[in-house]
Amino acid sequence: MARKKIVAGNWKMNLDRAKARELTAAVAARVGEAGGVELVLCPPALYVETVATALHLAGGKSPSGVALGGQNMHDKASGAFTGEVAPAMFVDLGCQYVILGHSERRTLFGETDAIVNAKTKAALAAGLTPIVCVGETLEEREGGRTDAVVTTQVRGSLAGLSAADIEKIVVAYEPVWAIGTGKVATPLQAQEVHALIRSLLAGLASPEVAGKVRIQYGGSVKPDNAADLACQPDIDGALVGGASLKADDFLGIAKAFQ
Ligand code: PEP
């Protein structure tokens, strides 16, 4: 069965409540333009409920079909973790997804593969679909270490997961040098790493399971470069930062994946 394409917007620490409502309404009203592509909005944690309300989410389902996700979470269910958000809290507000191991979390907040692994297991246990991010820095790419770095990240982040759990996740390949820089990986560069990730998943689970896992590309995706990425065989969607803050751009990217 063909993998359903998935385009997720990582709003990061942007917008205010009114703008979050406005953007959600604009995307939800035009979701038909991206028919067949799954859309996910990942607002700042504090605005998840605002976006859920704007999507008229009930029981995790939105009439518009747009899904909701968090940008990060703690791996513990509850307790003395000041400032953190528990997996079940996202579920409570109607989230189906959570982004984990984004390069900003890895570089700015010291998240290791072991931390990403614990969060991935906690997300799955709570019923969330983790979007697990991996990707090399410019220095690592220029040093010819892309495959080794991505292999370590995939194996470390997914260590101990059953094949059934691997089947449920989404992986995002996001070369760090392409995030927010306007430098997009060429479709071939991206495809090579996506194929590597799929072969790693085949080793961790099975070729059948690997064939079902959706692998998104992320890093300066825009409506005008999305089509070339979308036609690569192992690119199943996009994780979009900057361009997800404008409904036109976000939907333009989603359309490229139809
Ligand atoms: C991201 O942060 O996940 C991302 C891909 O950002 P941008 O699209 O802005 O490069």
Q: Provide the pLDDT for residue 1.
A: 67
- Point out which residues pair with 105 in neighbouring strands: none
Quote the CA–CA distance of 112 and 245 in Å, as a whole number. 28
Tens digits of residue pLDDT in 166-200 = 999 999 999 999 998 988 899 999 999 999 999 99
Q: Measure Cα distances from 229 to 42, 106, 191 in Å.
A: 22, 25, 8
Residue 74's nearest CA partner among 125, 129, 115, 131 is 115
**Ligand 1 binding pocket includes 254 (Cβ within 6 Å):** no
CA 180–ligand 1 middle distance (angstroms): 5
- The residue contributing the CA closest to ligand 1 atom 4 is 241
Ligand 1 center–CA 135 separation, angstroms:
12
Å from CA of 56 to ligand 1 middle: 27
Examine the pLDDT at 16 and tell me if it is beyond 70.
Answer: yes
**DSSP assignments along 43-85, one per residue:** --GGGHHHHHHHTT-BTTB-TT--EEEES---SSSSSS-TT--
The pLDDT value recorded for residue 58 is 73
**Residue of the nearest CA to atom 8 in ligand 1?**
241
In the three-class reduction of DSSP (H, G, I as helix; E, B as strand; rest coil), residue 211 is classed as coil
The CATH number of 6-256, from 3.90.950.10, 1.10.357.10, 3.20.20.70, 3.40.50.720, is 3.20.20.70
Q: Which ligand 1 atom lies nearest to the CA of residue 102?
A: 3
77-132 pLDDT tens trace: 999 999 999 999 999 999 999 999 999 999 999 999 999 999 999 999 999 999 99
pLDDT(244) > 90: yes
Tens-place pLDDT, residues 203-225:
999 999 999 999 999 999 999 99
> How many Å lie between the centroid of ligand 1 and the Cα of residue 10?
7
Nearest CA to ligand 1 atom 6: 241
> Angle of helix 113-126 relative to helix 146-157, nearest 10 degrees?
40
Q: Is 192 exposed, middle or buried (0-12, 13-18, 19+ CB in 10 A)?
A: middle
Interatomic CA distance for residues 145 and 162, integer angstroms:
28
Q: Which of 216, 240, 245 to mutate to test the pocket of ligand 1 (most atoms within 8 A of CB)?
A: 240
Cβ atoms of residues 114 and 156 within 8 Å: yes
- Whether 53 and 18 have beta carbons less than 8 Å apart is answered as no
Asked whether 10 lines ligand 1 (CB < 6 A), one says yes
Residue 63's pLDDT is 81
Annotated catalytic residues are 102, 174
Q: What is the pLDDT of residue 64?
A: 84
Contact 257, 239 (CB under 8 A): no
Closest Cα to atom 7, ligand 1: which residue?
Answer: 241
Q: Which long-range contacts (CB under 8 A, 24 or more apart) does 191-194 make?
A: 191/232, 191/233, 191/234, 191/235, 193/146, 193/147, 193/150, 194/232, 194/234, 194/235
Q: What is the pLDDT of residues 47-71, one digit of tens each?
A: 999 999 999 887 767 788 999 999 9
Contact present, 68 and 40 (Cβ < 8 Å): yes
* Any atom of ligand 1 within 6 Å of the Cβ of 174: yes
User: What is the rounded CA–CA span in Å between residue 50 and residue 19?
Assistant: 10
Nearest residue CA, atom 2 of ligand 1? 241
Residues 9-31 have a mean pLDDT of 97
Q: Could you report the per-residue pLDDT of 24-39, keeping only the tens digit for each?
A: 999 999 999 999 999 9
pLDDT of residue 102: 98
